[in-house]
Amino acid sequence: MKPGPPSLVWDVIGTVIWIWIIVNECVVNLERLIVEALPISATFFSMKLPLLIAFAALSSLVLGRRGIWFLLYVACFPVVVVLWKIPKRMYLNWPIVFAFLPAAYDAFRAFRRTFAMHAIGFISAFVIWKSQNSIAVVTSMILLGAYIAATLTKALWKAYAATVFHGLTAFVSQMRQKIESGEWDCHFAATVADNNGANPEKIETDRHGKMQLLYITNFGFGFAADRVYEVARSRKVDLYLMLTVFFAAFQIIVGFAVEFLGLNFVNASSFSDAEGATFFDFLGFSLSVFSTVEVSPIAAVTQWARLLCYLEVGCLMLFVFIIVFTVLTAAREKYREDIERFIAEVQASERAVTSLANKVYQFSIDELEQRLLVRDSKFVNFFRRFRGLPALSSPETTQALAKGAIVETAHPQPPRQSRKKPAKRKREKKR
Q: Which residues of the chain have pLDDT under 50?
A: 1-2, 4, 193-196, 400-413, 415-431
- Left, alpha or beta for 160 (phi > 0: left; psi -120 to 50: alpha)? alpha
Q: Are strands 271-272 and 299-300 parallel, antiparallel or unpaired?
A: antiparallel
Q: For residue 300, give the DSSP letter.
A: E
Give the pLDDT score at 256.
92
Q: How far apart are CA 364 and CA 371, in angstroms?
A: 11
Contact 236, 99 (CB under 8 A): yes
Contact 370, 211 (CB under 8 A): no
Which whole-number Å values give the CA distances from 69 to 54, 237, 358, in the listed order?
Answer: 16, 41, 52
Written as one string, the DSSP assignment of 389-402 is: PPP---HHHHHHHH
Strands (E), 166-263: none
Q: How far apart are CA 226 and CA 218, in angstroms?
A: 12
Contact 77, 20 (CB under 8 A): no
Q: How far apart are CA 69 and CA 7, in angstroms?
A: 12
Q: For residue 286, give the DSSP letter.
A: H
Q: Closest Cα to residue 155, out of 193, 208, 117?
A: 117
Q: How far apart are CA 63 and CA 40, in angstroms?
A: 31
The neighbour count for residue 129, using CB atoms within 10 Å, is 15
Give the pLDDT score at 171.
76
Give the pLDDT score at 100.
66
